[in-house]
Amino acid sequence: MLRQLNEHADAPTRHGLAAGAAAAPQRPDWTIDQGWDRYTAEEHAVWKTLFERQSKLLPGRACDAFVAGMRDLPIGPEQIPDFRALSEVLMQRNGWQVVAVPGLVPDDVFFEHLANRRFPAGHFIRKPHELDYLEEPDVFHDVFGHVPMLMNPAIADYIQAYGEGGLRAQKLGVLDKLARVYWYTVEFGLVQQADGLRIYGAGIASSYTETVFALDDASPNRIAFDLERVMRTHYRIDDFQESYFVIDDLDQLLELARIDFGPLYQRIEGQPEYQPGTLLPGDRVRTRGTGRYHAAKRAA
């Protein structure tokens, strides 16, 4: 999953005047001060480039909830948003807030934040040469990709429930199964609207290249979401997804939030797991992908 602790957790921060300082947590919950006044002109310019590029691409591709959330939040092209201003609006809407973290945080810390309606967002922004590739989530991914969807009540409740479920899954030793649900929904989910297939996953919405690939390319599969199927399906962290899972509407996520996952974990224990590009006889396939993109990468 995106936010597991890795060997780079104590690497230097890439944040403005703080560059070169250790990215160790300032507090037990790993939160830090955003330090908004320390962002450089270059960092604001990177935000502007990314924001304007995605804003031109997403109309007709992002779901209605994303568009509405972006409209109602203090997020614009000219500068990296201030987390305090975002939190003020979110708190009034549904009790969420955005807290700054130095980068990747331990799983238990991540889940604890979500369970308490705190969204941990990386405070740094990628460098100009990293517009289409970064090793860990930055402020553009976290704020532009995730925060607008937190304005939607179904997503807000679902992500809180995921945090609570993550703490339980850790104790049961089944976190990998639950992480796949997060990956194929919150990060790389698609939703079927009346006017067509749309993006709600932050990993797609914040990526120029994956926005095009997920909706327009013939290569990936697009499969109707099935919880048990998703829990048994591996995902890619190094490239575009080979399969995307499609929900019927955002309220379907609320239904997931109410499910007791305990019996599910027991049922799928020891069952075969599926590679990202696999199609199964029982799948409700929206689009059968050609697989050409990933086949070419493997052959290279």
Count of domains observed in the chain: 1
Q: What is the dihedral of CA 100, 103, 104, 106, to 10 degrees?
A: -50
Would 3 be classed as within a structural domain? no
Would 12 be classed as within a structural domain? no
Write the DSSP symbol of residue 165. H
State the Cα angle at 192 between 289 and 90, rounded to 5°.
Answer: 125
Which contiguous run of DSSP H or E holds residue 67? helix 64-72
- Global confidence as pTM: 0.91
Sign (positive/negative) of CA torsion 50, 53, 56, 61? negative
Would 7 be classed as within a structural domain? no
Would 16 be classed as within a structural domain? no
Q: Label residue 271 exposed, middle or buried (CB < 10 Å: 0-12, 13-18, 19+).
A: exposed
Would 15 be classed as within a structural domain? no
Residue that is written with structure tokens 């327009």 in the block: 216
Would 18 be classed as within a structural domain? no
Give 118's strand partners.
97
pLDDT, tens digit only, all 300 positions of the chain:
333 322 222 222 233 323 323 455 678 999 999 999 999 999 999 999 999 999 999 999 999 999 999 999 999 999 999 999 999 999 999 999 999 999 889 999 999 999 999 999 999 999 999 998 777 899 999 999 999 999 999 999 999 999 999 999 999 999 999 999 999 999 999 999 999 999 999 999 999 999 999 999 999 999 999 999 999 999 999 999 999 999 999 999 999 999 999 999 999 999 999 999 999 999 999 999 999 999 999 998
Which CATH number is 282's domain given? 1.10.800.10
Q: Domain containing 221: what range?
A: 28-299
Q: What is the dihedral of CA 202, 196, 49, 104, to 10 degrees?
A: 10
